[in-house]
Structure 1
Amino acid sequence: MKNLLTKALAIAIIGLSSSCSEEFLDNSGVAGESQPTASFTSAQVEQAALTNTDIPAASVNGIYAQMIQTGSGGTDLNHDDFGQKGYDIYGDMLCGDMALSVSTYGWYRADITEFQAPLDFTRGRNRMVWRYYYRIVRSANNVIESLGGNDAVPELDANKYSMGQAKALRAHSYFYLTQYFQKEYVANEAILPLYTEPLSENLPKSSAEEVYNLMESDLTDAISLLDGFNRTAKNQVDQNVARMILAYVLGAKGDRWQDVADLTQDVINTTSHTMLPNTDVTNGFADVNNNSWMWGIDLTENNGLDLVSWWGQVDAWSYSYAWAGDYKVIDSDLYAAIPNNDVRKAQFFNNPSNGRHLQPLFKFFASDQIGGASQTVTADYVYMRVEEAFLLNAEANARIPNEAAARTSLKALLDLRVPSSAYVDALTGQALRDEIYLQTRIELWGEGKSYLAMKRNQATTVRGGNHLSFVGEPIPYNDERMQFEIPQDEIQNNPFLSNQNQ
C-alpha cells in the first residue's frame, strides 16, 4: 500500500509551502475547475486492459491520496487544510463536543469556534470545505466518465471495482456538502450545484431531493459493483463501507429508518471487523490494522505529513499545536456524562489543576513523549469503525421503533465499555434515543462523527465551561452558526449563483 499511495500522491500532488501563520487563500478557480487526478478515454481503458495496466485503479488511488493531501482546500498553506480529517475537526468543534480550551496560535478559534465563517461567506474556511469536496467530486467524475459514464456497468471486474469506489467517493463528498451547507433536509430547497460529469461549465443549484437521489443511486450501484471486491488496503472503499455511507445518507434524510436498520444490520452480519475490547480503548487509535477499523489509511513517511495534519492539530503526543498551545479537549459536560466505571473515561486526562485537563491523552497518541520525538507523521487516520454500524443500527431501530433490536445493538457495544448494560433494558422512547445519541458522542469522540449525529438527532448543543466562547448558550442544530456558506468566489464566478442571497 505504501507504494500505491506514493504513486497516487505523485499523480495528485498539489504545490504547497509551510508556514505557522494563517495565509490568504488563492482564489483562482471554482468547483468545476480542472483537477489533479487524470481523466482517461474509453480507448485508453481498453488498451490498458490489453496491456495489464490498471489505469482506472491508479486514478481511484489518486482520489484517496487527495483525501490526505495538504492544501487540498485551496490554501498555501493553512495548517488546518489537510483533507477529510481537517473537516472532521471542523464538525467536532462546531457541534461543541471538541472544545478549544487553550488558544495560543489561533487555529480554529475565530472562524470555527466563534462561528465567524458560518456567518460570513467571505471567510476562507467556507471555500476550503467547498473546494475540497468538489475536488473529490470532479476526480470521481473523471474516473466514472473514463469507464463509460454514469449508466455504464464495466465488463471487467477490476473496472467494476474502480467504478464502485468512484461512485461511493462521489456520494461521500456530496454527503458532506449536504451536511455542511444545508441546515436540514428539505426536499425542494435548492442547495448545491450537482456535477455528475467532468464538465468545466458552471451549473445552478439542484434541489436537496436531487442531490440525495444521486447519492442513493451512486451508493446502491457501488454496493452492487463492489460485490466480490477484496481490497488490498483499508483506504479503499469496500462493499460494507459503501453500505455504511448509504446508511448515513438515509439517516440524514430522516425518513428511511428501516432501510438504515437493514443496511447496518447487513454490515453487522457480514463484517469480519470486531469492536474494540475494553482493554483497547486507550490503545492510541493510531494503527489502521486494528480490527475495529473498517476504513482508514496507513500513513508512512513517504506520505510526507507533519505538523499540517490531524495529528499535528489534535494529538499532544505529536509535534503539534495540541502540545504547543492550542489544546483540543472533550467538552466538560460531555466528560461529566461518562460514568466513572466506563472504561472510556480513562481516554481523557483528568487533572483540573493542569492546563491539559481533558485532553484525549489516552485515546489518541502517536508516540511515548509529549511533543513527539519526530515531526514526521506515521500514525494512521481512521475514517470509520465497526462500532458505528452498531450505534447507527441502534439509532435506526429506536426510531422505527423496534426498541428491542435497538437495545440489542446498543448493549453489544456497552458490554465492552461498562460493567453492566442492564440499565438499557428499562429505556424506552425518547430516553432510549437520548442514550444512543450520548453513547455515539462518547464512543466516537474526536473521530468526526459527532456533528453528523447532532444533525440526525436535531439536537441543541450547550457548550461546557472549558470552551473559550459561547459557554452555556443553547445552539440548535439548524442555527445559522452550524452550517457554512457558499463561498464568495463561487458566487462571483458562477453566474447561476451570483444573484443568490447568501
Structure 2
Amino acid sequence: MKKILLLSSIALATLTVSCREEFLESAPTETVGDAPVQTKLNGLYLMMINTGTGGTDLDHDDFGQKGYDIYSDLLSQDMALEATNYGWYVNIANMAAQVDFTNTVNYKPWRYYYRVIAGANDVIDGLGGTDNVPASQEDKYAMGQAKALRAYAYFYLMQLYTKGYNPTEAAIPVYKKSQMPAAPKSSQEQVYALIIDDLSKAVEYLEGFDRANKGVIDQGVAKGLLAYTYAAVGQSAQAATLSKDIIANYGYPVTTKAQAVRMAQTPGSTVLSGGGFNDLATPSWMWGFDIAVVNGLDLVSWWGQIDVFTYSYASVGTRKGIDLGLYNSMRADDIRRNQFVVTNPAQNYPGNKFFDPNRVAQGQRQITTDYIYMRVDEFYMLAAESLAKSGQEAEAKTILKNYLANRLTDVSYIDALSGTALQDEIYKNTRLEFWGEGKSYLAFKRNKATVTRGTNHLFFVGQSFPYTDDRVSLKIPQEEILNNPNF
C-alpha cells in the first residue's frame, strides 16, 4: 500500500506528553501558542492518533480516538475480551473500572477529549472567538474544522459519561474559549445545543472546502457528526435528512462485498481475497488517518490490540472477538460471518475483517495500516433507523434491503418486518456491519437497548445489561472532581 504522509511535516516536531500536566490545559502539547492556524489544526488531528494523549506514559490502551473506540465496543458488550494476558481492558470487561471513579479508565478519555476541546478553543479564539464569523474563506474553513473538532469531542464525552439523553440532567462542564476557569456541569440540553450549533456552523463554513486528504474534516464529515448528534437526542427526522444527503451528494460508494471481508469472492472458488479495512483510499471511507512509519506507532496502537498479524497483544493471544450471541444471530447467508475466525466454540477473532495485508504472523511491527473514523455505510443504516423511528417504514425497509443486498443472498424477509421488529433488525445489522469500528456503543445508547453477554465473555456470561446500567458508562474521574471546585 502506497503511503501518503498525512501531516508528516509536523509529526516529528510534536512535543512529548507529560504524565501529570495541567488537567484541563489551555492547549494540547501538539499545538504552539503563536503557531499558524493550520499547524494548530494539524496538531489536533495528530492528537487523534498519538499515544499518551490520555495523560499516561505507559498505558498501552492510551492512543487516541481508536483507543476509546475499543473502550466503547467493550462497553456495548459486542466486543468480548477472550483472554486476560497482560491485563489490558480487564477492568472494563469485569465491570470494575466503570464503578470506580479513581480508576484511570475513566480519566484517560476525559483528559483526551478535553484536550481536543482546549486545542479547538485555541484555534477558535485565534479566529475571533466562538461567535465571530470569519471574513476570509480560508479562515471560515479553519473555523469550520475547529468547531467540528470541538463538537466531536463534546459528543463523545456525552456518550461515555451519561446514561442516555435526559435534557435536564446535569452532565459535564462546557468551555467555549481558552483560559476559562473551572466550570460547573451544564445540562445535557445545553451541551447538545452547543454541539448542534458548532456542527451547523461547521457545515456552513466548510461549503466548498476541498480538503488535502481524508484525515481532515470536510463538510460531509461535519454532516455525519451532526446526523449522529440529532439521532442521539431523538430528532430522527433531522438525522434521516442528513444521512440521505450524505448518501446522495458526496460521492462515496458503499463498501463492497469484496472490500468487507476476506473470503472466496467467486462461487466455487477456493481463493481467498478482499477485506482488511486497512486503507484510507477505500472509496467508502469518509474520514480516517493515513498511518505512516513517521507517525511512530507500534505495539501501542489499535492494530496492536485487534490484529493478529501485528506484533502486539492480539498476536500473542489477548484477543477480542465478537460476542457469540451476536455472531450466532447472523443469518446463514450473511457474508459477515466470514469476517471472524472461530478457533473453538468459545473464541473467535476478526482475522478476515481487520488485518495487515501481508498476513504474516506478527509481521507488522511499525504500523502502516490506516485508521478508520467514518464510512458512508454508517449513514445507510442511520437513515434506515431514523426513518423507521419516524414512522416512514416503507422507505426504511427499501434502504435496508438495498444495503443488505451487499451482505445477504436473500433480503426478502425484511418485507414482513414492522414496528419494533423492524427497528430491532436495523439495530442488529448496525452492530454486525460496524463491529470493531466504535459505532455499536452509539447505537446501544440511542436505541435504549439491553444486551446479553454471550458465552465467549470471561465475566458475567449470560447477564443482561441495559443502557442505563452504571457499568456501561464511565464515571467523571477523580482528577476532575479534585481540581474543579464546582463539583
Report the TM-score when normalising by structure 1: 0.91
Matched, 1:31 2:13: no
Q: Who is 1:289 aligned against?
A: 281
CA distance in structure 2 between the partners assigned to 1:473 and 1:422 by the alignment: 33
Q: Who is 1:231 aligned against?
A: 211
Question: Do 1:79 and 1:308's aligned partners in 2 also have CA atoms closer than 8 Å?
Answer: yes
Q: Who is 2:264 aligned against?
A: none
Q: Who is 1:302 aligned against?
A: 294
Q: Who is 2:267 aligned against?
A: none
CA distance in structure 2 between the partners assigned to 1:314 and 1:175 by the alignment: 25
Mapping of residues 345-494 of structure 1, within 5 Å: 345-352=337-344, 357-494=347-484
CA distance in structure 1 between the partners assigned to 2:380 and 2:187 by the alignment: 31
Deviation at 1:7, TM superposition (A): 2.9
Q: Who is 1:122 aligned against?
A: 102
Q: Which amino acid aligns with 1:143?
A: V
Matched, 1:73 2:54: yes
Shift >6 Å, 4+ stretches: none
Matched, 1:105 2:107: no
2:237 aligned residue (245, 252, 258): 258
CA distance in structure 2 between the partners assigned to 1:426 and 1:460 by the alignment: 24
Matched, 1:8 2:10: yes
Select between 220-229 and 156-165 the one with higher mean Cα deviation: 156-165
2:312 aligned residue (320, 327, 352): 320
Question: Do 2:162 and 2:473's aligned partners in 1 also have CA atoms closer than 8 Å?
Answer: yes
Matched, 1:146 2:126: yes
CA distance in structure 1 between the partners assigned to 2:309 and 2:171 by the alignment: 40
Q: Who is 2:331 aligned against?
A: 339
Deviation at 1:73, TM superposition (A): 0.2
Question: Do 1:9 and 1:66's aligned partners in 2 also have CA atoms closer than 8 Å?
Answer: no
Deviation at 1:368, TM superposition (A): 3.1
2:225 aligned residue (245, 249, 254): 245
Question: Do 2:169 and 2:188's aligned partners in 1 also have CA atoms closer than 8 Å?
Answer: yes
CA distance in structure 2 between the partners assigned to 1:2 and 1:131 by the alignment: 30
Report the TM-score when normalising by structure 2: 0.94
Question: Do 2:85 and 2:317's aligned partners in 1 also have CA atoms closer than 8 Å?
Answer: yes
1:219 aligned residue (199, 202, 217): 199
CA distance in structure 2 between the partners assigned to 1:57 and 1:32 by the alignment: 20
Question: Do 1:34 and 1:200's aligned partners in 2 also have CA atoms closer than 8 Å?
Answer: no
Question: Do 1:27 and 1:489's aligned partners in 2 also have CA atoms closer than 8 Å?
Answer: no
Matched, 1:161 2:141: yes
- Secondary structure of 1:60's partner? helix
Once the two structures are superposed, residues 199-254 of structure 1 have per-residue CA deviations (whole angstroms, 9 ceiling, x without a partner) of 15211111111100000000000000000011111011111111110111111111
**How many residues in Structure 1 have an aligned counterpart in Structure 2?**
472
Deviation at 1:85, TM superposition (A): 0.2
1:181 aligned residue (125, 148, 161): 161
With over 3 angstroms needed to count, the CA separation of the structure-2 counterparts of 1:29 and 1:213, relative to structure 1, is same
CA distance in structure 2 between the partners assigned to 1:169 and 1:445 by the alignment: 24
Specify every segment of 5 or more residues in structure 1 that has no aligned partner in the other structure, as ranges.
Answer: 17-25, 45-54, 498-502
Question: Do 1:39 and 1:142's aligned partners in 2 also have CA atoms closer than 8 Å?
Answer: no
Once the two structures are superposed, residues 442-462 of structure 1 have per-residue CA deviations (whole angstroms, 9 ceiling, x without a partner) of 000000000110001111111
CA distance in structure 2 between the partners assigned to 1:420 and 1:58 by the alignment: 50
Deviation at 1:269, TM superposition (A): 1.1
Question: Do 1:5 and 1:303's aligned partners in 2 also have CA atoms closer than 8 Å?
Answer: no
Question: Do 1:240 and 1:267's aligned partners in 2 also have CA atoms closer than 8 Å?
Answer: yes
CA distance in structure 2 between the partners assigned to 1:178 and 1:418 by the alignment: 35
Q: Which amino acid aligns with 1:258?
A: A
Matched, 1:137 2:113: no
Deviation at 1:2, TM superposition (A): 4.7
- Secondary structure of 1:103's partner? coil
Question: Do 1:14 and 1:72's aligned partners in 2 also have CA atoms closer than 8 Å?
Answer: no
Deviation at 1:278, TM superposition (A): 1.3
- Secondary structure of 2:82's partner? strand
CA distance in structure 2 between the partners assigned to 1:12 and 1:66 by the alignment: 10
Q: Who is 2:249 aligned against?
A: 270
1:208 aligned residue (173, 179, 188): 188
Q: Which amino acid aligns with 2:254?
A: M
With over 3 angstroms needed to count, the CA separation of the structure-2 counterparts of 1:245 and 1:386, relative to structure 1, is same
CA distance in structure 2 between the partners assigned to 1:4 and 1:90 by the alignment: 26
Deviation at 1:11, TM superposition (A): 5.0
Q: Who is 2:265 aligned against?
A: none
- Secondary structure of 2:321's partner? strand
Deviation at 1:413, TM superposition (A): 1.3
Question: Do 2:278 and 2:371's aligned partners in 1 also have CA atoms closer than 8 Å?
Answer: yes
Deviation at 1:155, TM superposition (A): 2.1
With over 3 angstroms needed to count, the CA separation of the structure-2 counterparts of 1:32 and 1:227, relative to structure 1, is same
Once the two structures are superposed, residues 102-146 of structure 1 have per-residue CA deviations (whole angstroms, 9 ceiling, x without a partner) of 221111012x11122210100011110100000000000011111
- Secondary structure of 1:203's partner? coil
1:92 aligned residue (63, 70, 73): 73
Q: Which amino acid aligns with 2:9?
A: K
Once the two structures are superposed, residues 291-329 of structure 1 have per-residue CA deviations (whole angstroms, 9 ceiling, x without a partner) of 010111110001000000000101111112111121111
With over 3 angstroms needed to count, the CA separation of the structure-2 counterparts of 1:358 and 1:3, relative to structure 1, is closer
Once the two structures are superposed, residues 77-111 of structure 1 have per-residue CA deviations (whole angstroms, 9 ceiling, x without a partner) of 2000000000000000111111011221111012x
CA distance in structure 2 between the partners assigned to 1:2 and 1:56 by the alignment: 22
